[in-house]
Structure 1
Amino acid sequence: MEQESRKRSVSKAVTYRIVVVIMDFSVIYLLTGKIMIAVGFMIISNIYTTIAYFIHERIWNKIQWGLQRKA
């Protein structure tokens, strides 16, 4: 069974956040036509979603369901 390296995990997390930032900005800009509103939403959204993701991961770290031991 292959295990993902920390470097790969960090790279995936960073590239995912970049994609989300671009998507957030694009959608809000298309809806409002205002760059500053899109930038503001992008910043606020990424703060609260990052915090929510951290809390979500910490909760899942305490749940044993679905874990399998490596052979």
Structure 2
Amino acid sequence: MGKSYKRHIAKSITWRIIGTLDTILLSWLISGNPYTGIKIGLAEVVTKMLLYYLHERVWFKIRAGITENGDSKRRHISKTVTWRVVGTIDTMLLAWFISGNAMVGLQVGGAEVVTKMILYYLHERMWYQLDFGLDKRRKEGTST
């Protein structure tokens, strides 16, 4: 297994911890039931880990947003937006099915658009500073 795969697995795990805690809290506050929040958060651990890993692999293969000087802020913003679309749809469906209430699904999804985009962008910037899983520091998105 290449080092980039280890990096993407580690990023998936750290993001999922942050994302799950955010979903549990939002779902609890919106549904009024801490158990509903926990159920939604735990259900999305499985779906989001797979979806996030696939999202990372796609973005690793493309060079969108890479500049000659290595600046990646536009790339990270683009990744943030594409991930949020996928993640929000997943959360809305899970919250709806688990709570039995479509409005809870819409409210949880709507609330997390804001919190998750901020958290995801900060997560991306943190990982950009780390060399874990890279042979050497290089521009993200270039082939290994």
Superposition TM-score tier, normalisation by shorter sequence: 0.5 to 0.7
RMSD: 2.7
Asked whether the 8 Å contact 2:80–2:120 carries over to 1, the reply is: no
* CA 1:60–1:16: 2 relative to 1, 3 Å: closer
* CA 1:61–1:45: 2 relative to 1, 3 Å: same
State the structure with more CA Rg: 1
* Number of aligned residues: 66
Of 32, 42, 46, which aligns to 2:113? Answer: 46
Equivalent residue letter for 2:98: L
Percent of aligned positions that are identical: 21
TM-score between the two structures when normalised by the length of structure 2: 0.37
* CA 1:14–1:43: 2 relative to 1, 3 Å: same
| Deviation readout 1:15-65 (Å, 9 max, x if unpaired) | 433221211111000011112111110011221111111111222333355
The unaligned stretches of length 5 or more in structure 2 are 1-60, 66-74
